[in-house]
Structure 1
Amino acid sequence: MREVLDELGVSPEALVPQQRADLDELGYCRLDGFVGEALAGQLIAEITRLLEGSRQGGTLHLKGLLDQGSLFDSLWLRPALLAAVTHLLGPDFQIREMHYRAGRPGHGGQALHMDATDRAGPGQWRVCTAIVALTAFTLTNGATRVVPGSHLDHAFRPPVGHGRHPDEVLLTGPAGTCWLFNSHLWHSGTPNASAEPRHAVLTAFHRRHSGPTLGSETLPSHETVVRLGNAAYLLM
């Protein structure tokens, strides 16, 4: 696995010290300019095409993006992102799923939750998630909220229902911003009070052979394995 990461240019130097400190202390870090404006528009257009004819509720969902062609490779196949994942999970990790999520106006709110089944600690983290904003995340359009440091607080108790926590922070930023957060961190979507959907793609990573995690694992298609070459090892 280390050989695959080396081939992809993944090293600790791909992150600045502040990003590593943020992952440790806050439970998340920010990667600015991760996706360009033109590519973000192309991704939204392709996702819109893939959603045609599907039945959707208040929040739009589309799974299986890892198998939808090279356009989506740019959302995870980046040295800085994979270096951040390595910092949290170690070099032997697997990509579990890439999916699209967009809260429509009036929808998208969630209760604070973790995407892990236990409260691990440093050196034992099992799951982390990258979220890429394809449109700007603002104070009103359903940006993800996190409670910094809650991944380290095993006594943390979330508010009832969709209630606010006094220490929560909204992840706001322009289209193309990426955040990687420790999935043992308490987080959730927030209600979209704007007039447009809030488009985002999430990619889940987990430590290999670390036990059960929320969600299912699927093997990549043969076409995806051929397209990615050695990098496909990260999917299997």
Structure 2
Amino acid sequence: MYEVLDELGVRADLLAPQQLSELDELGYCRFDDFLTAPQITAALDTIESLAPGGGTLRLTDLLEAGPVFDPLWLRPNLLAAVRHLLGPEFRISAMTYRAGRPDHVQVDPSERVGPIRWRVCTAIVALVDFTADNGATRVVPGSHLDYGFVPPLGHEDHPDQALLLGQAGTAWLFNSHVWHSGTVNRSASARHAVLTGFGRRCGTSGFDPQPSESTIERLGSAAYLLV
């Protein structure tokens, strides 16, 4: 795995000291200008061709859609942040698209684990602006370190919560053991995002379903992160 990450250009010095301290202390860090405008447009166009109707639109197996979604995860700085949290032996567990419709909310429970044994983390990439009104993800910074943490009931606010707000093309990597949830989309438009889950190899089952031969061929050595 070390060789694969080296080949992909993953180095610790790609992360600013502030990002490293935020990952450790807050449980998440931010990447501004992670995607370009053409990359955002290409991802949204592909999603539109694949997505059904519904409340919270959800698509899986995005890696099988071709190279359009590769820039959303196959980035040395993002993978360096994943390695900082999980160590060098990690794999992708899922890559999904979600679009919270107006008046809809998605809640994801956080799993409590022992100190410094983080098992999973998630990258979320904004394909539209994340605002205080359109259902942006909320986190409680430092809750992964607080083993007496009491989560809010239902959709109630927590006094220490922070919203992940930013322009389209912004990305965040957060420790999935930080308490987090969606918020109610009170805008008139859907909030489009792609989430990539990463997990330690020990005790995880790998990417499911298994990647196709064409995906493995396209990704080359990076395909090792899927299996």
TM-score w.r.t. length of structure 2 = 0.96
Partner of 1:113: 109
SS of 1:191's equivalent in the other structure is coil
C-alpha distance in structure 2 between counterparts of 1:38 and 1:138, whole Å: 21
Partner of 2:193: 200
Structure 2 alignment gaps of length 5 or more: none
SS of 2:222's equivalent in the other structure is helix
Identity over aligned residues, as a percent? 59
- Please state if 1:172 is matched with 2:165: yes
Partner of 1:66: 63
The size of the alignment, in residue pairs, is 227
Partner of 2:177: 184
Partner of 1:38: 38
Partner of 1:139: 132
Partner of 2:156: 163
| Residue pair 1:109, 1:162 contacting (<8 A) in 2 also | no
C-alpha distance in structure 1 between counterparts of 2:109 and 2:21, whole Å: 23
Deviates more, 1:128-137 or 1:38-47: 38-47
Partner of 2:220: 229
Partner of 2:26: 26
SS of 2:109's equivalent in the other structure is coil
2:194 is matched by which residue type in structure 1? V
C-alpha distance in structure 2 between counterparts of 1:121 and 1:132, whole Å: 27
Partner of 2:147: 154
TM-score w.r.t. length of structure 1 = 0.92
Structure 1 alignment gaps of length 5 or more: none
C-alpha distance in structure 2 between counterparts of 1:3 and 1:120, whole Å: 29
| Residue pair 1:103, 1:197 contacting (<8 A) in 2 also | yes
Alignment of 1:86-125 (within 5 A): 86-110=83-107, 113-114=109-110, 116=111, 118-122=112-116, 124-125=117-118
Structure 1 residues 23-62: Cα deviation after superposition (integer angstroms, max 9, x where no partner): 00000000010001221111111001011xx3x4311110
